[in-house]
Each structure stands twice: as C-alpha cells, then as structure tokens.
Amino acid sequence: MDYIRTDSNGQLTFSQSTDFLSIPSCLYGFHNTETTTAVAESGRTVVCFHGEMELPEEERICTCGCRMHKNNSPDIELRHLCIGGNLSRVIFPHLQLRCPKCNATKQQYISFKAPKHRITEELYQYTRDLLAIGTYTNKQVAEITGLGKNTVKEIDKTRLEELYTINGKLIKPERQAKYLGIDEFKLHNGRRYATHIIDLETGHILWIANGKKKQVVYDFIDHVGLDWMDGVEAVACDMNSDFQEAFEEMCPHIQPVYDYFHIVKNFNDKVVSEVRKDEQRRLYAEGNVEAAKALKRTRYILMSRRETIQAKDKDALKGRIIHKGSQLFGTENIVRKTGYEAKYDELLQQNSLLFTLDLIKEKLADAYKTIDEALMAEKVIDIMDMCQASKNSHLMWFGKLLDSHFEGIIAHATYKISSGKIEGINQKIKTLRRHGYGYPDDEYFFLKLFDMSRGSYDRNPASHRICDWAKRIEAKSGTVLEAEAIQWEQAPDGRWHEAV
C-alpha cells in the first residue's frame, strides 16, 4: 500500500495501491476482488474490501439429504482490523440457501465472524486484548478500533463474565486464603456503599456486594463454604463493628485484627485535632492571644511522628525541591522549609496536654512493634490508663475505643497483618471510576474490579524487538538456553501455522 502525507492535518492517507505486502488476513474462505475507500461520518477513511465467500459442497447438503439451492444473496458488511489510522470493512454477498424438498432454509456459515456482532473474529479478539491491558477506557478502545462504546462494553462484559463467573455466579476463590481483608467503599453519590473482601496475600478481590452490613459477610461465607473458611486464621478490618460481629458469629475461630493505621487515624482525627481546637479556644478566652496564634497551622505537625519531622528537617538542610518550578509558566522552585522539630518541641513545652498526646502517640507506635500479645496488652492498658487519668473528654473517648476493640488490637502482635493492601485497592477503585467517568452498571463495575485486582504490574516490560531464540541468555542464571526460532508457513487453505 502507498501512503501520502497530506498538508492539511499531517496524517497518513490511503491512496491507490501499486505494491502489496502478503499479510495473513485470517478471513478464511474470503476472496478479495476489489478494494475501495470511503469516508465515515467521523471523517476517518474506510478501506472497503469487496469479495466473495467460498461455499463448500458439504454445506449445501440439507439435513434431509437433498442439495440446497441459492435463494438470496444480500451483502453483509463486517468491520475488520484498522490499517494504521484508517478503518476497514469486509463486504461480500451472504448466501441464503433453501432446500427444494423440505423447504428448510439456512444462511451460509462465516468462520471469521465474531458471535453476536457484525465484526470479524480478529477485530473481536484485538478489542478484548486492548481491554485486558486495563489502561484504556471503553471510549479510547472504541476510538482505536472504530467500534461503538456500547459494543466495546458488551465485548468487555462478556470477557469478564467468562473469566469470573460460572453459570451466572461468581467463581470460587482460586486458592485457600490464610488472611482476609474487608472494607467498604463509596459506590455512588447519595451515601451508597459497597463492601469488598480480599485475599491479603495476593490482593485478589474474592467478593463484592452492595451495602456495608453483616449480610455481606454472611453471603460471602455461604459463597465459599464453611470448609474453606476453616483455613482462614485472621481478618484485617477497620472499626466497623458489624464486620467483626458477623465473623465472630459464623466463624468464631477467625480473629479480627485492627491495624496501626486505623487506630492512629482515629487518634489524629478525633483526639489530636479536637484537642488543638479546644486549647486554642481556651487560650483566646484567657486572653493569651500569642499562645493561641502559635497553635495555628500546627495540625499536621502535631499529627506527625518525630521521625517524620526529623526527616523533613534533614531534607531542608539538603535543599530538597518539593515542587519544581517552570520558566515557561513563570513559577519558582519550592524548597523544603526547616524548623519543624524546633516548632514541635516548643509546642510540647508550652502545653502539657499536647505533651500527653505526644507521649500516647509514641506509646502506640511502640505497642504495635511488639510481637508478644501479653506484652502488647500491658502497653495498651497503660495507654488506656493515661487517657482516663487525663480527664480530657477526647482522650477518655479514645481510651474507651481501645477498650472496646482490645482483643482485635492486641491480636496484631500475633498476626502481623494490616489493611494497607485493601486501602490501596480502594484508591484503585476511585481511580478506575474517575478514569471511566463513572459506571452506572454495578455488575459491570464489580467485574472490572475483580479484573483490576488480578492485574499484574510489569515495571520493566519486555522489548518488542525480534529475539534471537537460538542464543537467548537467561538473565538470572547467566546460562544460554538453546531454542529454535519459530518458523511459520502458509497452508493451501490460507491458514498460517507453525512449520514442522
């Protein structure tokens, strides 16, 4: 084919062909007799391959044994793989056969037509491959392939149903899980939520359902069976008591575990932040304006650990740039500021309650490093006593929170698991929803989440250069693997296969 570059938009345009490449078309039985071009409503060039289909003699034999005759031959148009930026169509008469003896009719079989769609099998598979990559939206795949968005969605949903459903039900877990993670995520605006349960070791989503109540856990246990649940030892969850109670009712041997993240998050949001506000209001009421102003913009300093603050000061000494400026847009580099630790120490010296918060925060971090449950229980009880002795309403609330979740907290010493992986999946869910501008079809969205959780990340993908398989070097061992390059040959029927 010859391509010319137009002056208007700089794109390659199909023109008259004088030289050809022999490329396997996979259109078995189709004979191309003429090639024309047309323009689609979108403005893209459409290459139209006109031709005829072979009709094997055995296909003309009716079930009654009589030879069928051609009754009609309307043209059929199938979308095919794109040629560069151009769309392509395969157009040929689709024969309709009729038996003169029993009046039975049937249509000519087209081996390369995709089921349920007016596209070729090659385009159908190419679309599935693009969707399986997971980085393209349906709209982008539709633009690449020339198909409609609804068609792309139907192809993707069929692909996902084949992978993750059996007889209309979700597949069973692929392996026996030892640790589970459970959390809810926002499904749509309007306070609608869904809950997902994952295998913490693989990150695979095992179950998704609407709602965030006990029934979600009950349905999951019915799905996998009690025998499978016997192999589960612990489940990482947030402070949702419904999940804990449901697992304890159905599977008492499973230990709920509350990780460091959720405890500290409650401490920072419900205690540190509120105490800072209360102290600021108290200082203003006492007329100590300077001390009250010193508490402004200190929320994140008070929430941070000393190691984090020290690391920021070290970055400042090195002149670390946290935001690169642009000469083009007239912005300057933003360099890390120093003095975080000095400011932190000043706040603790001026306010004894803030010093208590710092002490509890350090004790919490130390408790979660413990690998002995009895020792961790002592440290948590010590924190609870400090909260009660402070007589501060926010700290007393936090002490009650630790007391009500005591068993799940100290279980972290035995089961070193966290909900970090499931929180990461929550971020992926938000990204997927924003990337696709929302998914009103919940079933399709849940299946995409199943597929997303099983996708592997390849940091350094293999090159697309032609590989010399006869001298392929094994990267890990440094040995030479002897292998022969695959040779392909074309059979008389036009099919390509590996040479013997």
Taking residue 323's Cβ as centre, other Cβ atoms within 10 Å add up to: 11
| Average pLDDT over all residues of the chain | 87
Segment among 133-137, 194-198, 488-492 with least mean pLDDT: 488-492
Is 341 buried (19+), middle (13-18) or exposed (0-12) by CB count in 10 A?
Answer: middle
Segment among 14-18, 36-40, 181-185, 401-405 with least mean pLDDT: 14-18
Segment among 71-75, 80-84, 259-263, 461-465 with least mean pLDDT: 461-465
Q: Span 390-399, mean pLDDT?
A: 94
Give the model's pLDDT for residue 26. Answer: 84
- Whether the full predicted model's pTM is greater than 0.75, yes or no, is yes
Whether residue 332 contacts residue 325, with contact meaning beta carbons closer than 8 Å, is answered with yes
Whether residue 236 contacts residue 200, with contact meaning beta carbons closer than 8 Å, is answered with yes
Q: Span 267-272, mean pLDDT?
A: 93
Q: What is the DSSP letter of 416?
A: -
Comparing CA positions, the residue from 343, 313, 337 lying closest to residue 323 is 337
| Spatial separation of the C-alpha atoms in residues 453 and 457, rounded to whole Å | 11
Give the model's pLDDT for residue 498. Answer: 52
Written as one letter, the residue type at 312 is: K
Q: What is the pLDDT of residues 336-366, one digit of tens each?
A: 988 889 998 888 888 889 999 999 999 999 9
Going by pLDDT thresholds of 50, 70 and 90, the confidence category of residue 189 is confident
Between these two residues, 460 and 451, which has the higher pLDDT value?
Answer: 451
Angle, CA of 256, 257 and 259, to the nearest 5°: 155
Give the model's pLDDT for residue 7. Answer: 46
Give the model's pLDDT for residue 187. Answer: 85
Give the model's pLDDT for residue 362. Answer: 92
- DSSP letters for 26-48: --TTEEEEEEEEEE-TTS-EEEE
Q: State yes or no: pLDDT of 12 exceeds 70.
A: no
**Tokens 């079930």, residue?**
63
Whether residue 179 contacts residue 187, with contact meaning beta carbons closer than 8 Å, is answered with no
| Spatial separation of the C-alpha atoms in residues 12 and 14, rounded to whole Å | 7
Q: State yes or no: pLDDT of 123 exceeds 90.
A: yes
Beta strands in 305-397 (DSSP E): 321-323, 334-335
Q: Span 61-77, mean pLDDT?
A: 90
Backbone angles phi, psi at 482, to 5 degrees: -85, 120
Highest average pLDDT, of 188-202, 213-227, 443-457, comes from 213-227
| Spatial separation of the C-alpha atoms in residues 229 and 243, rounded to whole Å | 15
Q: State yes or no: pLDDT of 256 exceeds 50.
A: yes
Q: State yes or no: pLDDT of 263 exceeds 90.
A: yes
Query: In this prediction, what percent of the chain has a pLDDT beyond 90?
Result: 58
Give the model's pLDDT for residue 465. Answer: 77
Written as six digits, the tokens of 267 are 């401490």
Q: What is the pLDDT of residues 453-466, one digit of tens each?
A: 998 767 777 777 77
Q: Which residues contact 167 (CB under 8 A, 6 or more apart)?
A: none
Comparing CA positions, the residue from 397, 367, 365 lying closest to residue 382 is 367
Going by pLDDT thresholds of 50, 70 and 90, the confidence category of residue 149 is very high
Give the model's pLDDT for residue 489. Answer: 54
Going by pLDDT thresholds of 50, 70 and 90, the confidence category of residue 471 is low
Is 488 buried (19+), middle (13-18) or exposed (0-12) by CB count in 10 A?
Answer: exposed
Taking residue 328's Cβ as centre, other Cβ atoms within 10 Å add up to: 6
